[in-house]
Structures are given as structure tokens and as C-alpha cells.
């Protein structure tokens, strides 16, 4: 065991359209306390397409749930193309030894398809419902719970509502239940973080021509 705590970080699907995502993510991560980071990708517009199909064709929540699970595998690979220096894992049984051996230098992107299909329902305290009330927010919370993570961080494109109640659209219906036992949950507006970082750099940069003879 390396002694570092585990941090689960979920990158919201809304960030897939953010051109500066990779640079902002690495800057944000560099400011965090040392930890072994497990990165989960949200479903984004890919999951929205399944929701629309369910509405139009009546797929049913069970079928739609498993289609969305498959989408998380695709979005994880998409995230890996933006963060090529990160580790990659699809197998739950290989993830645990990888985390034990990690020194926290780079996150491991975890595709949770196999975990959700074969492992999750067998673990305490309660499995996730297969409904639209469960999205990647609750899935990330469930993974953080099983890993006994020190914290869960949800990277999003907006600030939490002034009176955060755990209700949509900021997080899914089940999130409060899924995250109940977690030690710490944080919400980070990564787009705002990127803007503030740029502003700070501009403040530190000398004005054009300043200091010239």
C-alpha cells in the first residue's frame, strides 16, 4: 500500500465540448492535495441521445440503463484521447492493484462497464437502481463508496445552485443517497476555474512595452 488517499474525480459530459479541458484539468489537479486519482467520464450528449430514444421509442428504463452504461465506456475512451498521459483500466480486479501501486503522479481513467455489469450489484450496502434517476454522478459516487475514497469531486460546467438540494439538473435524483456515506464531496466549475486562471496570469503579466528603455 502506498499510503495515499483515493480521490474519485468525475468529468461531466458537458466538459467534452470545452476546448481547454485538458489544460484546465491538469492545472486544477496540480493544486490538489496528494492522492491516487480515479477519473470517471460522464455520458454527456451520448447519454442524452439514449434518453431521447427512450422517450420516442419506449425502450424502458432497464434497457436504457444498460445502453447508457455502454456509453460510459465510449466516453471514457474519448476522455483518454484528451488525457493521453493518464493510466487506463477497464477491469475492476486490475484497478485495485493499480491503485495500490500508484504514486499519484497521474490519474487512472476507469471505464466502469465491467464493474457495473458484473461486480457492482454484489457489493454492499445497496446496488444502484436501474432508472433514469441514476446517472454518472451516482455511478461515480458508488465507485467512490466501494473504493472507500477520501473524497469525490464532480467537475462540471456550472456552479452549484445557491440552495443545493441534490436535485436535477445539477446532480441526478439518486445522488444524495449514493453519496450519503462519502467522507467529502466537492463540486468544481472547471470552466470558471480555467477563466480565473487565465485572469490571474494576465494580472501577473507586465503590460506591453513595460520596462523597456
Whether the per-residue pLDDT at 206 is higher than 70: the answer is: no
Q: Which helix (H) or strand (E) holds 57?
A: helix 44-57
Please report which confidence band the pLDDT of residue 199 belongs to, taking 50, 70 and 90 as the band edges: low
CATH number, position 97? 3.40.1160.10
pLDDT band at 160 (very low <50, low <70, confident <90, very high): confident
**Structural domain tally of the chain?**
1
Determine contact, residues 73/111, Cβ cutoff 8 Å: yes
Mean pLDDT rounded to a whole number for the chain: 91
**pLDDT above 70 for 40:** yes
Instruction: Give domain status of residue 78, yes or no.
Output: yes
Give the 3-state secondary structure of residue 156.
strand
Find the domain containing 12 and state its range. 6-204
pLDDT beyond 90 at 165: no
Let me know if 108 is exposed, middle or buried by CB neighbors in 10 A (0-12, 13-18, 19+): middle
Res. 54: pLDDT tops 60: yes
All residues at 6 or more sequence positions from 50 whose CB lies less than 8 Å from its CB, including other chains: 59, 64, 67, 68, 71
Contact 192, 159 (CB under 8 A): yes
CA distance 121 to 133: 17
| pLDDT attached to residue 209 | 47
User: Does residue 210 lie in a domain region?
Assistant: no
Residue 209 counted as domain residue:
no
pLDDT in tens, 87-134: 999 999 999 999 998 888 899 999 999 999 999 999 999 999 999 999
Confidence at residue 95, expressed as pLDDT on a 0 to 100 scale: 96
Q: What is the pLDDT of residue 202?
A: 66
Do 146 and 110 contact (CB within 8 A), yes or no?
no
111 in any annotated domain: yes
The DSSP bridge partners found for residue 66 are none
Residue 212 lies in a domain: no
Query: What whole-number distance in Å separates Cα of residue 13 and Cα of residue 156?
Result: 8
User: In the numeric block, which cell numbers belong to residue 188?
Assistant: 468544481
Amino acid at each position: 500500500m502506498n499510503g495515499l488517499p483515493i480521490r474519485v474525480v468525475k468529468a461531466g459530459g458537458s466538459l467534452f465540448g470545452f476546448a481547454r479541458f485538458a489544460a484546465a484539468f491538469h492545472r486544477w489537479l496540480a493544486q490538489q492535495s496528494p492522492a491516487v486519482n480515479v477519473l470517471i467520464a460522464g455520458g454527456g450528449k451520448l447519454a442524452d441521445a439514449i434518453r431521447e430514444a427512450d422517450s420516442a421509442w419506449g425502450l424502458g428504463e432497464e434497457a436504457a440503463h444498460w445502453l447508457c452504461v455502454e456509453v460510459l465506456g465510449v466516453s471514457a475512451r474519448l476522455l483518454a484521447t484528451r488525457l493521453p498521459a493518464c493510466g487506463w483500466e477497464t477491469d475492476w480486479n486490475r484497478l485495485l492493484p493499480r491503485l495500490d501501486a500508484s504514486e499519484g503522479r497521474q490519474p487512472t481513467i476507469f471505464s466502469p462497464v465491467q464493474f457495473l455489469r458484473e461486480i457492482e450489484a454484489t457489493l454492499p450496502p445497496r446496488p444502484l437502481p436501474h432508472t433514469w434517476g441514476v446517472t454518472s454522478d451516482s455511478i461515480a459516487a458508488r465507485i467512490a463508496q466501494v473504493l472507500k475514497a477520501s473524497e469525490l469531486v464532480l467537475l462540471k460546467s456550472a456552479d452549484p445552485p445557491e440552495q443545493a438540494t441534490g436535485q436535477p439538473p445539477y446532480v441526478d435524483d439518486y445522488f444524495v443517497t449514493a453519496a450519503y456515506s462519502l467522507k467529502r464531496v466537492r463540486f468544481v466549475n472547471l470552466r470558471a476555474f480555467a477563466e480565473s486562471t487565465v485572469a490571474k496570469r494576465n494580472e501577473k503579466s507586465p503590460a506591453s512595452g513595460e520596462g523597456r528603455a
